[in-house]
Amino acid sequence: MISELSRWLDSERLGVEGLTELEAERFLATRRARGVRAFRSLAALEPLLRYLRGLGVAPVVVVRTSVTALEELIERYRRYLLLERVLTPESAKLYVRSVQTSQLTECARAAVRTKETYLAAHYAQLRGRRGEQKAIGAIRHDLLVAYFHIVRDHVPYRDLGPDWQRKRYSVEHRARRLQRQLEALGYAVTLEQTNPAEQTA
């Protein structure tokens, strides 16, 4: 398999220094696509990868921090294109760029035309303050975040409702959030409303 890997690296114009974990998975995906049954998983290459990393010629695995939901979703989609669809990096890049712009924009425009939904209400709120383009951009982000949680948690889509923003920043919601923060610090907190008229103003 080492000689096959060497030929694949040459065909992809990669050196050993470019043999990242993702590229190793791409190599294995091409073998699976050809119907090869032996040594199909990353575990089969792990001893070689460890050896090359120990020599300092192959890149070590870098764990990214502070990755947003949007970034993780886009990365998962890119990996799907590379490893499941076995596309070239150039083709995968075009697909990702398309999803990030035109196709996702069309989905966002369709979503804001729905009635009595969170996305429509959020769009209307932002359009007046920030303009149409930035408002559509925010809805694109909302859609990707929702899709990320649906895929990760295996749950159906649940609309938050047109009044979710108002509820989120209501006095009651802020009070409960502060209560949870204090309880996390070890305090026992009891909420008592002292001025009902001001609470509902």
Distance between CA atoms of 106 and 186, rounded to whole angstroms? 48
100-142 pLDDT, tens digit per residue, is 677 788 889 999 999 999 999 999 989 988 899 889 988 988 8
168-185 pLDDT, tens digit per residue, is 767 777 788 888 888 888
Residues 43 and 81 in one domain: no
Residues 55 and 93 in one domain: no
pLDDT tier, 30 (very low <50, low <70, confident <90, very high otherwise) = confident
* Model pTM above 0.85: no
pLDDT tier, 195 (very low <50, low <70, confident <90, very high otherwise) = low
pLDDT of residue 119: 92
The residue segments making up the domain with residue 181 are 170-199
Residues 175 and 164 in one domain: no
Q: What is the mean pLDDT of the chain?
A: 81
Q: Report H helices in the chain.
A: 2-11, 21-33, 42-55, 69-79, 89-98, 104-111, 118-130, 132-153, 164-168, 171-184, 196-199
Count CB-CB contacts under 10 A for residue 178: 12
pLDDT of residue 123: 93
Residues 135 and 111 in one domain: yes
Residues 143 and 165 in one domain: yes
From residue 69, give the alpha-carbon distance in Å to each of 5, 146, 155, 173: 33, 9, 16, 24
SS3 (DSSP) at 92: helix
As a whole number, mean pLDDT of residues 48-55 equals: 85
pLDDT of residue 67: 61
Share of the chain above pLDDT 70, in %: 90
Q: Taking phi first (over 0 means left), then psi (-120 to 50 degrees means alpha), and beta for anything else, what does residue 142 get?
A: alpha
Q: Pick the range with the lowest mean pLDDT from 19-23, 72-76, 132-136.
A: 72-76
Sign of torsion, CA 196 198 199 201?
positive
pLDDT of residue 69: 63
Residues 110 and 184 in one domain: no
Q: Which two tokens stand for residue 49?
A: 């990868």
If you write DSSP's letter for every residue of 2-13 in order, what string do you get? HHHHHHHHHHTT
